[in-house]
Amino acid sequence: MRAAIIGATKGMGRQLARRMAERGDMIAILGRSEASLQAATTDLQIRGAAEVHPIVFDLADADGHRKGLRAIEGALGHIDAIIITAGGFDTQEGLESDLERTARILDLNYTKTVLFCEHARKSLMDQQGGGKLVVFTSVAGDKGRKTVGLYGSSKAGLSHYLDSLDARYRDAGLVTINVKPGFIRTSMTAGLPEPPFAGEPDQVAVDVLKAMEKQLPTVYTPSIWALVMLVIKHLPKFVMRKVGF
């Protein structure tokens, strides 16, 4: 497979890139730090990637989106999948007390990600008649809750967009996959109190590769979170006001 991953230097994106490298895929990795991209490139080559192409890229910079896509096209030729794990997070308390940071995270997770997906959609459909667009949202976007409201609302918006993209373009060849991780042990969540069912990035990587193969429109990972969210989604508002999550 030939895939581009935005966010391959850390966390779930890194583990996904590794699993793909280990099966011999050709990968373009995009991120902000040249040094991290270089180290990731060596790691992926040792693991067995057919080719690794590091591309310096900032998702927050909309002016650079088109250039980033050209670089991916140049590196991979044909693109089977574009995967976006890049995103920002902070706790509800952290965001409430710093609205500038809130603005940056909402903007990155929603506006900039949607805008980049629009470029990616056009690139995949116009240049090669389709492909896969795999984007990480979150279970935090499934329901308004006490603890992850601000961050969760950006993921809810993104989710809404991705689901409509899939509804509109799947028949025309664009397969959109909305990945909803539960609590995963990455540096993003390091230091936070751990809820039950916390998962490892490697579980997520395995689940996402399976979902890509089966072309599932939505994937909860680890899969137990599908059940957890099914219950939470059906809790009435007066209960949501009482419970601590």
Partner 1 sequence: MTRFLDPLKSDMPLHGWGGLGVHGREALGENLAEITEGKPLTRGLGRSYGDAGLPAPGDEVIAGSRMANRFLDWNPDTGVLRAEAGVSLNELRRVFLPKGWFTPVSPGTSFVTLGGMVASDVHGKGHHSAGTFGEHLTSLTMRLANGEIVTCGPDDKPDLFWATTGGMGLTGHILDVSFKMRAVPSPWIYAERKQCPNLDSLLEHLEEAAEAYPMTVGWIDCLSTGRNLGRGILMQGRWAELHETPAKYPADGGGPSVPFTFPNWALNDVTLKGFNWAYYHKEFKGFRSGVESTQTWWYPLDGIGNWSRIYGKRGFTQHQAVFPKAVGRKVIRQYVELIAMLGGSSFLCVIKDCRAEAPGTLSFPMEGISIALDFPMRADTQAIVDRLNEFVIEHGGRIYLAKDALTRREHFEAMEGERLTKFMEIRRKYDPDLTIRSRLSARLMDPEVER
Ligand X SMILES: NC(=O)c1ccc[n+]([C@@H]2O[C@H](COP(=O)([O-])OP(=O)(O)OC[C@H]3O[C@@H](n4cnc5c(N)ncnc54)[C@H](OP(=O)(O)O)[C@@H]3O)[C@@H](O)[C@H]2O)c1
Give residue 34's identity as a one-letter amino acid code: E
**Residue 145 in the binding site for partner 1 (CB under 8 A):** no
Q: CA-to-CA distance for 220 and 131, rounded, in angstroms?
A: 21
7 contacts ligand X (rule: CB under 6 A)? yes
By CB under 8 A, residue 46 contacts partner 1: yes
- Asked if residue 24 binds partner 1 (CB under 8 A), the reply is no
Distance CA 136, CA 139 (A): 10
Q: Give residues with Cβ within 8 angstroms of 5, minimum separation 6.
A: 13, 16, 17, 20, 27, 28, 29, 30, 83, 84, 85
Query: Which residue in this structure is represented by tokens 């809810």?
Result: 156
Cis, bond preceding 196 (omega within 30 deg of 0): no
Interface mask toward ligand X for 115-154; x: CB under 6 A: ---------------------x-x----------------
Number of residues in contact with partner 1 under rule CB under 8 A: 20
Rg of the chain over all Cα atoms, to the nearest angstrom: 17
Task: Tell whether residue 187 is a contact of partner 1 (CB under 8 A).
Answer: yes
> Measured from the CB atom, is 106 or 139 closer to partner 1?
139
Which of 170-198 are b and which e, b meaning 16 or more Cβ less than 10 Å from the residue's Cβ?
eeeebbbbbbbbbbbebeebeeeeeeeee
Span near partner 1 by CB under 8 A; candidates 43-51, 95-103, 105-113, 225-233: 43-51
**Binding residue (CB under 6 A) for ligand X from 1, 50, 60, 226:** 60
209/17 Cα distance (integer angstroms): 10
User: With CB cut-offs between 5 and 8 Å by kind, which of ligand X, partner 1, none does residue 193 bind?
Assistant: partner 1
Among 77, 93, 172, 191, binds partner 1 (CB under 8 A): 191
Specify the stretch interacting with ligand X by CB under 6 A; choose among 19-27, 57-65, 97-105, 119-127. 57-65
**What does the binding site for partner 1 look like in residue numbers (CB under 8 A)?**
9-10, 14, 22, 36, 39-40, 42-43, 46-48, 186-187, 190-191, 193-196
